[in-house]
Structure 1
């Protein structure tokens, strides 16, 4: 499943693949320095709450004591499909990850193309799509978070996806009624793969959802958030297709 998205870190097709498909699975990332170098070549790095000064976050299992709201990534638990930084007004457009040490067992990446989910709901559950696009219908990130919707107009002709499915998302009652339909669409379009050492991915954080299977062993990955360099002209988010284009 990952082969259509797979490129080397120095490939000239990397940006084109991100622009067209919203995802590139990247070989040749031998450590956090390689990931940061790649990130800086295509993006303005956006620091994360948990990152170092350079914007790189090291993600590993820190033990059961860390498993609390907003910190489940630093455990060995499974992670529900989500977009990064849903609780801030302007989530970064790109998520860049690399693996230094794979898990002993489990830890597969779970990816879902929001374009496929959006198109699926538009055809199978149009009422759900309307409700899930209602402004200010979800509070993301807790009391100090951000009111938005799961699908929202990004102001540039596309739809931005914003989602988390844990206790830090509070859905309006009418939205909550359609979450099972959303989860079913997500499940229909999910695929998973195991990152090897030196491999990573770059995805459109306004389009793709990502999650993780539970794992054993000391899995170590690195993360960088960023926004595409303006000169690359990479449009992010879901395309709204006319009904005549759906075939």
Structure 2
């Protein structure tokens, strides 16, 4: 599937991005060179989810920094993942742009979660059922405890990570090599220059990053649709105050760890 590019100099980029996201779940952007540009686009998608390591406007600067927690703040490769995967309802949209390009490496990687689920259902129904079973995976929560949450949920939604913030039940752990092969078959890799980036549906697409050399910087915003924010307020919840590990992924360690009973 070809992914559409939009230009930040187009005054209607926000509306066009919303339309494209509703159709395909992802759009690539260029000429987005400032935090202000990100925040202006974000207004078309909803309300900013404030990260722990972000500026007052919610923009996080993802760059190598050993004083900050999370593999995202290193030069290490990040496997495909969902941002804030440990939340019951992760932030819906992710907006990024490259502020400073790395000397080498740092390509972004993507997988269409709906295509992944369709492929696995067709080729490996048993694996599909395991990935929809909340007893098979535990994701790390704000308080460092773990909660049983399925990787595939709702109507073709996906949550994913491969690091020390997830436990796999033995039944699923045995089939992880199969899952990784499915991901590899669908993975798309894009090299972004300064001022380029992407907007994606965090419930639909997985994203990752190759390792890199140099001082690469990426600006990132997480967004919740207004309707979700309103529902959470009705339920007495305030998701924007949750503090979770800032980057949800790193390389998968083998052998996988196993959860307690769900």
- Common fold: TM-score over 0.5: yes
Report the TM range for the smaller structure's normalisation. 0.7 to 0.9
Q: CA RMSD in A?
A: 1.9
Distance 1:37 1:226 in 2: 12
| Displacement after TM superposition at 1:194 (Å) | 1.2
**Equivalent runs, 1:163-202 vs 2, <5 Å:** 163-202=160-199
Q: CA deviation at 1:144?
A: 2.1
Which residue of the partner structure matches residue 139 of structure 2?
A: 140
**Alpha-carbon offset, residue 116 of structure 1:** 1.3
The reply to whether residue 152 of structure 1 matches residue 153 of structure 2 is yes
**Residues 96-119 of structure 1 deviation map (CA, whole Å, 9 limit, x = unaligned):** 111111101000001111111111
- Measure, in 1, the Cα distance between the counterparts of 2:138 and 2:86: 8
Query: Are the aligned partners of 1:88 and 1:146 in contact in 2 as well (CA < 8 Å)?
Result: no
- Equivalent residues of 2:114, 2:156 under 8 A apart: no
1:221 is paired with a residue of what secondary structure? strand
Cα distance in 1 for partners of 2:206, 2:27 equals 14
**Residue matched to 1:31:** 34
Q: State whether structure 2 residue 23 is matched by structure 1 residue 20.
A: yes
Distance 2:226 2:6 in 1: 20
**SS of 1:203's equivalent?**
strand
Structure 1: 5+ residue runs without aligned partners?
232-247
Report Cα offsets for 1:157-185 as digits up to 9, x if no partner.
Answer: x1220110111110111121221111111
Separation in structure 2 between the aligned mates of residue 152 and residue 196 of structure 1, nearest angstrom:
34
Secondary structure of the 1:146 match is strand
1:210 aligns with: 207
Greater strand percent: which structure?
1
Q: Distance in 1 between matches of 2:61 and 2:173?
A: 33
Contact 2:45-2:93 at 8 Å conserved across structures? no
Match of 2:54 among 51, 54, 60: 51
Give the drift of 1:230.
4.3
Contact 2:59–2:221 at 8 Å: present in 1 too? yes
1:32 and 1:98 in contact (8 A); partners too: no
Shift of 1:204: 0.7
Q: Is the 8 A contact 1:88 1:145 kept in 2?
A: no
Greater mean alpha carbon deviation, residues 105-114 or residues 35-44: 35-44
Task: Determine the structure 2 residue equivalent to 1:100.
Answer: 99
Contact 2:18–2:44 (CA under 8 A) maintained in structure 1: no
Q: 1:8 is matched with which residue?
A: 7
With normalisation by structure 1, the TM-score equals 0.84
Per-residue displacement from partner, 1:181-238 (whole Å, max 9, x unpaired)? 111110000011111111111101001111101101110101111123449xxxxxxx
Give the TM-score taking structure 2 as reference length: 0.80
SS in 2 for 1:4: coil
Q: Distance in 2 between matches of 1:193 and 1:217?
A: 18
